[in-house]
Structure 1
Amino acid sequence: MTMKFTLAPEPDDLTRERGRLLFAAPVEFLKGVVAMAGLPPADRVEICFAGRSNVGKSSLINALTGRKNLARASNTPGRTQEINYFTTTEGPYLVDLPGYGFAEAPVAVVEKWQRLLKAYLSGRVTLRRAFVLIDARHGVKAVDDEILTLLDRSAVTFQVVLTKVDKISKAEREKVIEQVAQALTKHPAAHPEIVVTSSEKGEGVATLRTIIATME
């Protein structure tokens, strides 16, 4: 049976408020991790953000938390080589993973952080969900498929978040949603709801906050 993929619904007032309150409370940078031994204690649920370089991860994390510079974007795509941990007040860890697919860095460095990424995804027992960011202007590419397959093999539920939807027309939006939904049919770890966002315009931010805040 093929899973049907749909857009995540708008939250109701009660759950929207839960999401607002979670991110209205302090969110702090905890640490950058370059090896599995450096991970903080697995004492709470965590969710992570993955995506190819320049997909808008830092912008989305800043929009979610309502803070301009909590997550810092590099001017050079692929420069973020650490797993960055952020703490929420009485909520999950937010984990910003290194961008994949393009990096202006030595091959050995790229390979090292790719190994770290794989080790984290397959070995972190408290990881509840991975949010995989896909640029709405491009849809799912082969390099995205690689990370989605890794998440399948690691048995980590992932949910696709389309970014930068303000950069495309309504017709293009419908087309890319269809392309993404089709690509996800071959990935058993995919969550059935796709979140559509624009960090610049704020679209979808409340929905994503609510999903995170209500995750068991």
Structure 2
Amino acid sequence: MMEAGRLLFARPVRFFFAAQKLEGLPPPDAPEVAFCGRSNVGKSSLINALAGHHGLARVSHTPGRTRQLNFFMAGEAAPGDDPARKPARLTLVDMPGYGFAAASKAVKADWQGMMFDYLRGRPTLRRVILLMDARIETKDGDRAAMDLLGEAAVPFQIVLTKSDDAKPASRLAKRQAEMAEIVRKRVAAHPVVMTTSANKGTGIAELRAALAEIAQSG
């Protein structure tokens, strides 16, 4: 699947829609994979690394600022492409970050309600990529997000970010072991935990391959 992953992101990934309310979502089309995580987990940087485009997803210096679902299309065919080598399309959905300390309780409740309705009701959603910081311990917000995904009956896969800053190496190994234990206890969790670094490119090819497999499954 490594070649399929390369092909999926060989063409420019295109931003095509933003929605602040559920009634404003684009019509269901290609299979969707949503990226979810704490506001400072490096979500936008990872999406940019996958796309090979550093300015695709906006990296905010104010964690928790984004309050909308951003939609990007990967794998679109270009004129003259060989149909036999054309990758399946995949929609990447950048979800608003959670765990922003400065937000009011009303804003947090609104986020949870909107995200649950999106997760539960989106027919093209195939998986949620739940991003966890490789450098720090699991937070209450992370556990709440996993609870929300379980309640919505949406499969999710944990992907560790910022692994290049998880030092010493024993810290990363401990974090990986912790994630493996978590997925064993969560029915909705994918059994494979992935480790990435947007800065160093660690795990990007492998994550692209996993996304290509989802795209091809339809």
Q: TM-score, normalised by structure 2?
A: 0.89
**Residue of structure 2 equivalent to 1:143:** 141
Give 1:119 deviation, angstroms. 0.9
Give the Cα separation in 2 of the matches to 1:111 and 1:74: 22
* Paired residue type of 1:121: L
Alignment deviations for residues 46-105 of structure 1 (CA, whole Å, 9 cap, x no partner): 000000110000000000000011000111100010011011114111000000011534
Output the CA distance in 2 between the equivalents of 1:58 and 1:122.
Answer: 23
In structure 2, the residue matched to 1:187 is: 186
Task: Indicate the SS of the match to 2:117.
Answer: helix
Task: Please say if 1:29 is aligned against 2:15.
Answer: yes
The answer on whether the counterparts of 2:35 and 2:93 sit within 8 Å (CA) in structure 1 is yes
Determine the structure 2 residue equivalent to 1:207.
206
Instruction: Choose from 109, 132, 135 the match for 1:134.
Output: 132
Indicate the SS of the match to 2:131.
Answer: strand
| Matched letter for residue 125 of structure 1 | P
The one-letter amino acid paired with 2:192 is E
1:40 Cα shift?
Answer: 0.9
Q: Distance in 2 between matches of 1:122 and 1:85?
A: 17
Contact 2:184 2:191 in 1 (8 A): no
Structure 1 residue 49 and structure 2 residue 35: aligned? yes
User: Is the 2:71–2:94 Cα contact (8 Å) retained in structure 1?
Assistant: yes
Q: Deviations over 1:136-190 (max 9, x none)?
A: 0114222111111111111111000000010022211111111112222321000
Tell me which residue corresponds to 2:85: none
- Unpaired runs of 5+ residues, structure 2, are 77-87
Cross-structure match for 2:107: 109
1:176 is matched with which residue?
A: 175
Residue in 2 that maps onto 1:4: none
Which amino acid counterpart does residue 145 of structure 1 have in structure 2?
R
Mapped partners of 2:178, 2:4: distance in 1: 32
Q: Secondary structure at the match of 2:96?
A: coil
Shift of 1:27: 0.9
Runs of 4+ in 1 over 6 A off after TM superposition: none
Partner Cα separation in structure 1 for residue 103 and residue 200 of structure 2: 32
* C-alpha distance in 2 between matches for 1:131 and 1:81: 18
Given candidates 44, 48, 54, the residue that maps to 1:62 is 48
TM-score, scaled relative to structure 1? 0.89
Task: Give the number of aligned pairs.
Answer: 202
Counterpart-to-counterpart distance in 1, 2:29 and 2:71 = 13
Query: Is residue 139–residue 179 contact of structure 1 (8 Å, CA) maintained in 2?
Result: no
Contact 2:68 2:95 in 1 (8 A): yes
Quote how far apart the aligned CAs of 1:106 are: 4.3
In structure 2, what is the equivalent of residue 39 of structure 1?
Answer: 25
Distance 2:105 2:63 in 1: 15
Q: Secondary structure at the match of 1:24?
A: coil
Match of 1:154 among 152, 155, 158: 152
Larger deviation, residues 199-208 vs 163-172: 163-172
Question: For residue 100 of structure 2, what is the amino acid of its counterpart?
Answer: F
- Structure 1: where are the runs of 5+ without partners? 1-14
Give % identity. Answer: 49
Distance 1:138 1:181 in 2: 15
